[in-house]
Each structure stands twice: as C-alpha cells, then as structure tokens.
C-alpha cells in the first residue's frame, strides 16, 4: 500500500528564515509526486508535480526537489502570506490514477 | 476558465436527514474524486468516478454513502441518515488526464 509521511507536523518560522519541509514516500512505482498548499477553510491549491529523481521545480519562494524516497519543499526567505498547510501526495504507476495524500505540514511565518 | 465548483459551501443537517453534495469538474475533465477531511487531519480518499462509472469506492463506507457522476450534470455525493460523525469537510477534485488533481472549495457538513 502506498504511504506518504510528512515532517514536521508543524513549523514556525520568522519572516526571512529559510527552511525545508520533508515528504517521505513508499510506492511500488512513482508516476508523480504532487505538492499542494491549503489555506484554512479552503480547498488544496496545486503547486508542483515532480516525476523523476533529480527533478526540481520552482515557484516564487518555493522549490520542490525529488529523490527516490523523499521530496523536499524548500522555502526561501518566507513571508507571512506563505503561512498555510502544505500537502504532499503520490500517484503510483499501474492501475488507475489514485492519489495518496500525507497529513501535511502546518507552516506559520511570523512577521 | 472556471475551476472546480462545489455546492453548497456549507450544509447543516439534523441526525437522520439526507445530505446531498454536488461537484462540477473543470471543463473538459471527466475524472472526479471525493475526499473527506476532518479538522487537523489529512485528506481521506472516498471514491473515484468517471462519467457514468464508479472506478474505485474502496474509501467510502458501505452503508449510507453513495456517489454518482451522470452523463449530464454534476457529480453527487449522497449521505443518507446522517450521524454526528459525518460532520467534516468534503472536497471534490477533478482530473483531465493521468496527473494532477484540481480541488474545489469544499462543502462543510455539520450534523446537529
């Protein structure tokens, strides 16, 4: 069974203090790994898809990287508006397109 | 380019009533997923549908819950005889191909 574990569960940063969120996964074969951002009371917002080890994607202050066992979401010089829960999910090869989500990292950026 | 739409956004039901949640996928998308999320918890897969077909309902309780995605109209998640434990946020996601899913704003169900 596919598994996704995210750490830490919660992270508190000062504005401008860079850090990384971790997503460890177990899947028979990886079709894609996804990162989402979820604000309170809203649906998850798609950020990135990574397909193979070594791949990197960037968007503003966020950079996602992928290895064969984990993915990192690096946040550079975060701002208070980056505060949200960040969700990681994996999609396995074979079968249909079922996606398995982790429980998320709740990020708080303090001014 | 409209995104995924869900209605109602908030739904209050008394125990024993029926709850009907609707999801209209993005234009051109024919795959719909339903998830449930409890406060401070992750997204739990419930059911995956394509037009007129249920592909995987392994995450959906066998009793009281049903889902459909007709040829015309939105996908519907139906919960019969609701209980307090059904209170949660229910999210719908649509997918146009084999990759990323796009989520709607959710329906927050409260059972009194």
Segment A54-69 mean pLDDT: 96
End-to-end, the C-alpha distance of chain A in Å comes to: 41
Tell me the mean pLDDT in the region B12-32.
95
| Residues B106, A42: C-beta atoms closer than 8 Å | yes
Q: Omega before A8 cis (within 30°)?
A: yes
pLDDT tens digit sequence for A70-90: 999 999 999 999 999 999 999
- Which pLDDT does position B96 carry in this prediction? 74
Distance CA A75, CA A63 (A): 7
Question: Is some CB atom of chain B closer than 8 A to the CB atom of A45?
Answer: yes
Contact A97 B4 (CB under 8 A): no
| Confidence at residue B98, expressed as pLDDT on a 0 to 100 scale | 66
A 54-83 residues with CB < 8 A to B: none
Asked whether residue A1 carries a pLDDT value surpassing 70, the answer given is yes
Q: What is the phi/psi pair of residue A64, to 5°?
A: -110, 135
**pLDDT above 90 for A95:** no
Q: For B41-94, write each residue's pLDDT tens digit.
A: 789 999 999 989 999 999 999 999 999 999 999 999 999 999 999 999 999 999
Nearest partner of B91 among B29, B9, B35, B15, judged by Cα: B35
The answer for residues whose C-beta is within 8 angstroms of residue B48's C-beta and 6 or more apart is A96, A97, A98, B31, B32, B33, B54, B55, B56, B57
Over residues A18-44, the mean pLDDT reads 94
- CA–CA gap between residue B22 and residue B104 (Å, rounded): 11
Contact B91 A43 (CB under 8 A): yes
Nearest CB partner across the interface for A46, out of B6, B35, B100: B100
**CA nearest to B44 within chain A:** A101
- In A, minimum Cα distance to B102 occurs at A46
Put simply, the answer to whether B99 touches A104 (Cβ < 8 Å) is no
């Amino acid at each position: 069974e596919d598994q996704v574990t995210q750490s830490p569960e919660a992270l508190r940063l000062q504005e401008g203090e860079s850090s990384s969120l971790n997503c460890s996964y177990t899947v028979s074969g990886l079709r894609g790994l996804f990162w989402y951002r979820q604000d309170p009371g809203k649906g998850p917002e798609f950020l990135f898809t990574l397909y193979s080890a070594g791949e990197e994607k960037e968007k503003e202050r966020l950079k996602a990287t992928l290895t064969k066992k984990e993915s990192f979401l690096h946040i550079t010089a975060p701002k208070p508006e980056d505060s949200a829960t960040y969700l990681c999910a994996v999609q396995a090869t074979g079968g249909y397109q079922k996606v398995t989500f982790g429980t998320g990292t709740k990020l708080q950026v303090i001014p | 380019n409209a995104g995924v739409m869900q209605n109602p956004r908030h739904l209050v039901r008394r125990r024993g009533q029926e709850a009907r949640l609707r999801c209209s996928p993005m234009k051109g998308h024919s795959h719909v997923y339903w998830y449930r999320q409890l406060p401070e918890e992750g997204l739990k897969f419930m059911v995956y549908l394509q037009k007129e077909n249920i592909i995987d309902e392994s995450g959906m309780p066998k009793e009281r819950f049903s889902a459909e995605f007709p040829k015309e109209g939105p996908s519907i998640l139906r919960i019969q005889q609701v209980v307090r434990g059904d209170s949660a946020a229910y999210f719908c996601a649509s997918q146009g191909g084999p990759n990323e899913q796009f989520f709607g704003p959710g329906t927050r169900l409260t059972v009194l």
